[in-house]
Amino acid sequence: NSDEEIQQFKASLFWLGLDQSTAPRMICSWVLFFLMTLLVPLLNALLVDCRHCDEDHKHPYQGIVEISESALAMVSFLCVSHIFSVYGLHKLLLFDYIARDSTEVQVGYKKELHSAFRVLAMILFPSFLVALVHKLWWFYYVSVNLPRVSESSLINAVMCVSVMAAWLYKTTIFLFVCVLFRLLCSLQILRLQSYNKLLEETPDVSVILSEHMRIRDQLLIISHRFRVFMVSSLLTITFSQFVSLFMLTTSRGSVNFFRAGDLAVCSAVQLTGFVVCLNGAARITHRAQRIVAIVSQWHAVATCGTYAVAMPSCDADKATEPVASAVVGPAHPFLARLEATIDICSTPKEPSKYDIDSFQKRQALVTYLQHCNAGISLYGFVLDRGFLYAIFGFELSLVLFILGNTMGF
Domain for residue 347, yes or no?
Answer: no
Alpha carbon separation from 89 to 3, 145, 311 (Å, rounded): 11, 44, 57
d(CA 382, CA 378): 6
**pLDDT value at residue 172:** 92
Task: Give the residue numbers spanning the domain of 222.
Answer: 1-47+59-301+364-407
Average pLDDT value for residue range 269-284? 87
Domain for residue 368, yes or no?
Answer: yes
| Contact between residue 47 and residue 196 where contact means Cβ atoms under 8 Å apart | no
Domain for residue 320, yes or no?
Answer: no
**pLDDT value at residue 34:** 93
**pLDDT value at residue 74:** 93
Domain for residue 350, yes or no?
Answer: no
What's the domain count of the chain? 1
d(CA 287, CA 193): 9
Mean pLDDT for all residues in the chain? 78
Please say if the pLDDT value at position 334 is more than 80: no
Q: What is the pLDDT of residues 15-63, one digit of tens each?
A: 888 888 888 888 998 999 999 999 998 888 888 777 666 666 677 788 8
Please say if the pLDDT value at position 225 is more than 50: yes
Domain for residue 369, yes or no?
Answer: yes
Least confident of 126-140, 162-176, 211-225, 241-255: 241-255
Average pLDDT value for residue range 249-259? 75
Domain for residue 338, yes or no?
Answer: no
In this prediction, what percent of the chain has a pLDDT beyond 90?
12
pTM for this model (two decimals): 0.80
Given pLDDT bands bounded at 50, 70 and 90, which one contains residue 173? Answer: very high
**pLDDT value at residue 258:** 79
The separation between CA 127 and the C-alpha centre of its own chain, rounded to angstroms, equals 20
Domain for residue 36, yes or no?
Answer: yes
Domain for residue 355, yes or no?
Answer: no
| Contact between residue 362 and residue 209 where contact means Cβ atoms under 8 Å apart | no
Phi, psi angle pair for 341, to nearest 5°: -90, -10
**pLDDT value at residue 37:** 92
Please say if the pLDDT value at position 339 is more than 50: no
